Chain A
């Protein structure tokens, strides 16, 4: 495993985890755009959730003030992260928990694997967790002979379908009910209790099938692995926000609980939850409150897990923190509102981004966690329309960070030499500001019709390959608007 370095701070190592895709965004996006089923599934789902969110946020008169406080609290956390982490550790340990520190994905996976083996278990039940997706924990456990059962319905759909998550909140958003039914019928039997006979694609029936399939796993599990939505430094309290009750099952029934948490998830005080518990559910599922939130502090004798381990994860977060123009991405509370409003995400889906963090937040977070060289197409995976910033409950100015990261990408490639892209932009600006040059250019562009097929140009110009490889052009019309206007007697 190697880790690129940013300002002397290591980013997430290569070769482990889910932050890097196999191909650049443009190629993956082009394929996704050809999938009509995917686009229909995404379009339906995102428009539903956009409407719900707008309603839930609209009924909170002090939303803007909550958002401002949420952003400031997270900035305070980032500015004083060392003292909050030490305080959190003291509190968790004082209440009977054990705290582990993991510099990167590999170290976190090794810690969790060792803890599961020490508990004498060969399987774990899992609460949906972005951090464990990020570090590729399931694969690491599998390699050590430990079965990791995902228990969130959407994660179960993804796991049974041998698929990848495509959304932060609803990882199976790219699947419709008919596809989900097929996966359940085909795959549940191989993982445990088979799907009920005659299973239909009614969402209630599918949810019931998941309940039956997972119940035996919950009742026998000895170890659970979770993420955390927040950890209160002042009290050592951890919190998980969820809907289905699978989280409660995992956090309550097993004897041992292992929680993997990014270091930026700490919040200063108990009182600060009044901000985040108002911002998160309304932004995320568009509900006034999510069905279940569990909070625990260390170990409580006679109630829930009697052994608790907290794994604090860096994996590129400190490298992200070191960039003052990009660090606000660490405010993110993983609500996914920015995905649901993004015109690019709505059309390409999450897989095109390659990382487990897709959409606008993924486009600013993934390249910072890995170093921009390893996700150099993601800062360009946006039209900079700004809808993501508007809905972000912690006011992350995603468009500005994208532009900043674009310049970091260009710097990392060019090392001071002007690129063809930059030179072209300058030439274009000169041509468009001169009427005579522009007219000549338009007439010249008709030559483009010769290289077009079915009305599109897919030419790759060698010196501009980074530009043309990612953009199809419509074939130029036979006559420019200017020429057409002149032919009708208009002034040119």
Chain B
């Protein structure tokens, strides 16, 4: 018998010992139950992000380019990777724009100071921003190797909780869920921000 056949046979024999019929009751809050209005969604998201020690700037659609430019200047970042599909109107000024065309090698990415992206969904309750590698987000390595990640969240992309976010996401795409800058609690269980991923996360929330 192959390992596969034998393991499946073992599973069937084991589960047949006093088998149980299971009923899954979903008594918890479901997607779109008790929705929040935009003001609350934004407030809670910002509160969570600040708690994670992410930077937050709020602006209207026309102010996005300026907001990103300011953030990059504040961090003295000379250049930024910008993925394909990032809106031209949001491109920051005064900074070297690096395109992932042809794809950058990991050492090349390591030499760029920052990355600027859009986002797919943001979860207010948990302060989570999800990237799905769609237009403006690019492949996963882009938002991982540079030390500063500036991400634009549109207010219309903010949802209340995890159930709503899963409904909006496509599991066939590579997904990265980001809740604050990289962190560790491995030394005496005290949280330290900034290990291997971007040590600084700056969020631009756009109306």
Report A's interface with B, CB cutoff 8 A: 7-9, 41, 44-46, 48-49, 61-62, 65-66, 68-69, 72-73, 75-76, 78-82, 85-86, 95, 100-103, 107, 151-154, 157, 170, 172-173, 176-177, 180, 203-204, 206-208, 210-211, 214-215, 218-219, 232, 235, 237, 243-246, 248-249, 251-253, 263, 270-271, 273-275, 277-278, 281, 285, 287-297, 300, 302-304, 312, 314, 318-324, 327
Cβ–Cβ contact B17 & A170, under 8 A: no
A78 CB to closest chain B CB (Å) equals 7
Cβ–Cβ contact A304 & B140, under 8 A: yes
**Which single residue of chain B is at the shortest CB-CB distance from A294?**
B176
A288 to B10, CA, bound (A): 38
B181 touches which one: A73, A248, A291, A302 (CB < 8 A)?
A: A291
A-B pairs, 6 with minimum CB distance: A245-B197, A65-B27, A245-B196, A321-B14, A322-B14, A318-B10
Cβ–Cβ contact A291 & B183, under 8 A: yes
Residues in chain A near residue B133, CB distance under 8 A: 300, 303
Chain B 186-207 interface mask (CB, 8 Å, partner A; 1/0): 1111101011111000000000
Cβ–Cβ contact B25 & A288, under 8 A: no
**Which single residue of chain A is at the shortest CB-CB distance from B18?**
A324
Residues in chain A near residue B89, CB distance under 8 A: none
Cβ–Cβ contact A215 & B190, under 8 A: no
A411 to B140, CA, bound (A): 54
A82 touches which one: B15, B163, B181, B188 (CB < 8 A)?
A: B15
- Pick the interface stretch among B59-67, B74-82, B112-120, B121-129: B121-129
Cβ–Cβ contact B196 & A249, under 8 A: yes
- Pick the interface stretch among B35-43, B91-99, B167-175: B167-175
B192 CB to closest chain A CB (Å) equals 5
B9 CB to closest chain A CB (Å) equals 9
Given A48-B188, A252-B141, CB of A246 within 8 Å of CB of B3 = no
Cβ–Cβ contact B185 & A62, under 8 A: no
B154 located at the interface, meaning its Cβ lies under 8 Å from any Cβ of chain A in the complex: no
Cβ–Cβ contact B171 & A232, under 8 A: yes
Residues in chain A near residue B189, CB distance under 8 A: 44-46, 48-49, 170, 173
Cβ–Cβ contact B171 & A303, under 8 A: no
A173 to B190, CA, bound (A): 11
Cβ–Cβ contact A154 & B7, under 8 A: no
The listed residue with most B CB atoms (<10 A of its CB), out of A49, A68, A246, A322, is A322
A78 to B6, CA, bound (A): 17
Residues of chain B in range 13-66 having any CB-CB distance to chain A below 8 Å: 13-15, 17-29, 31, 48, 51-52
A457 CB to closest chain B CB (Å) equals 37
Report B's interface with A, CB cutoff 8 A: 2-4, 6-8, 10-15, 17-29, 31, 48, 51-52, 103, 106-107, 110, 123, 125-128, 133, 139-141, 144-145, 161-163, 166, 171-190, 192, 194-198
B166 touches which one: A72, A203, A273 (CB < 8 A)?
A: A273
Given A72-B23, A312-B7, A321-B15, CB of A253 within 8 Å of CB of B106 = yes
A252 to B140, CA, bound (A): 7
A42 CB to closest chain B CB (Å) equals 10
B162 touches which one: A151, A215, A263, A277 (CB < 8 A)?
A: A277
Residues in chain A near residue B19, CB distance under 8 A: 79
Residues in chain B near residue A72, CB distance under 8 A: 22-25
Residues in chain A near residue B8, CB distance under 8 A: 82, 85-86
**Which single residue of chain B is at the shortest CB-CB distance from A128?**
B186
Cβ–Cβ contact B27 & A101, under 8 A: no
For this complex, 28 residue pairs linking A to B, each with C-beta atoms less than 8 Å apart, are: A8-B13, A44-B189, A68-B25, A103-B6, A157-B186, A203-B187, A203-B190, A207-B184, A207-B194, A207-B195, A211-B195, A215-B196, A235-B171, A248-B197, A274-B31, A274-B161, A274-B163, A278-B162, A291-B181, A292-B197, A302-B103, A303-B133, A304-B140, A318-B10, A319-B14, A320-B14, A322-B17, A324-B17
Cβ–Cβ contact A296 & B174, under 8 A: yes
A153 to B3, CA, bound (A): 35
Cβ–Cβ contact B11 & A81, under 8 A: yes
Cβ–Cβ contact A69 & B28, under 8 A: yes
Residues in chain B near residue A232, CB distance under 8 A: 171
**Which single residue of chain A is at the shortest CB-CB distance from B16?**
A322
Cβ–Cβ contact B195 & A270, under 8 A: no
Cβ–Cβ contact B196 & A214, under 8 A: yes
B140 CB to closest chain A CB (Å) equals 5
A103 touches which one: B7, B25, B181 (CB < 8 A)?
A: B7
A376 to B189, CA, bound (A): 32
Secondary structure of the A contact surface, majority rule: helix
Given A44-B188, A219-B110, A288-B127, CB of A293 within 8 Å of CB of B162 = no
A50 to B142, CA, bound (A): 36
A214 to B184, CA, bound (A): 15
Given A248-B144, A304-B139, CB of A288 within 8 Å of CB of B48 = yes
A45 to B187, CA, bound (A): 9
Known: A46-B189, A65-B25. 8 other contacts (CB 8 A): A7-B17, A101-B7, A177-B187, A203-B187, A215-B196, A253-B144, A289-B177, A327-B14
Given A207-B187, A270-B171, A300-B133, CB of A69 within 8 Å of CB of B29 = no
Cβ–Cβ contact A318 & B141, under 8 A: no
A140 to B10, CA, bound (A): 26
A302 touches which one: B139, B161, B162, B171 (CB < 8 A)?
A: B139
Cβ–Cβ contact A75 & B20, under 8 A: yes
A204 to B192, CA, bound (A): 6
Given A246-B195, A248-B197, A300-B174, CB of A9 within 8 Å of CB of B13 = yes
Residues in chain A near residue B145, CB distance under 8 A: 253
A260 CB to closest chain B CB (Å) equals 14
Cβ–Cβ contact A292 & B182, under 8 A: yes
A322 to B19, CA, bound (A): 10
The listed residue with most A CB atoms (<10 A of its CB), out of B11, B194, B196, is B196
